[in-house]
Amino acid sequence: MRAVVLTEYKQPLELIEVEEPQVGERDVLVAVEAVGLNQLDEKIRAGEFAQILPYSLPVVMGNDVVGTVIRVGRLVESFRAGDRVFARPDQNRMGAFAERLAVAEADLALIPDGISMAEAASLPLVALTAWQALVERGHVGPGQRVLIHAGAGGVGSIAIQLAKHLGAIVATTASAANADFVRELGADVVIDYRAEDFEKILSEYDFVLDSLGGENLEKSLRVLKPGGLAVGISGPPDPAFAKRMGLGVMVRLAIAVLSRRIRRQATRLGVTYEFLFMRADGEQLSRIAALVDGGALRPVVAKTYPFGQIPVALADLASGGSRGKIVATLER
What secondary structure does DSSP assign to 26-62, as a single string? TEEEEEEEEEEE-HHHHHHHTTTTTTTS-PPSSEE--
Cβ neighbours of 310 (radius 10 Å): 25
Cα–Cα distances in angstroms (integers) from residue 272 to residues 200, 213, 263, 266, 331, in the given order: 20, 15, 7, 5, 46
Is residue 158 helix, strand or coil? Answer: helix
Structural domain includes residue 102: yes
Domain closes at, from 241, 258, 275: 275
Query: Are 179 and 134 in the same domain?
Result: yes
Query: Are 45 and 168 in the same domain?
Result: no
Structural domain includes residue 287: no
Tally of domains within the chain: 2
> Given a cut of 70, is residue 332 above it in pLDDT?
no
Query: Are 81 and 183 in the same domain?
Result: no
- Domain range for 208: 125-275
pLDDT in tens, 106-159: 999 999 999 999 999 999 999 999 999 999 999 999 999 999 999 999 999 999
CB-facing half-sphere around the CA of 186: CA atoms within 13 A = 22
Is residue 18 helix, strand or coil? Answer: coil
pLDDT in tens, 79-91: 999 999 999 999 9
* CATH code where residue 264 lies: 3.40.50.720
Query: For residues 63 and 39, what is the distance between their CA atoms, to the nearest angstrom?
Result: 10
Strands (E) across the chain are located at 2-6, 14-17, 27-37, 59-60, 65-72, 84-87, 100-104, 108-110, 145-148, 169-174, 189-192, 205-210, 224-232, 272-275, 301-306, 325-329
Query: Are 135 and 256 in the same domain?
Result: yes
Q: What is the mean pLDDT of residues 257-284?
A: 95
* CATH code where residue 46 lies: 3.90.180.10
pLDDT grade, residue 232 (50/70/90)?
very high
CA dihedral sign of residues 240, 245, 248, 252: negative
Query: For residues 202 and 151, what is the distance between their CA atoms, to the nearest angstrom?
Result: 16
Question: Mean pLDDT for the chain?
Answer: 95
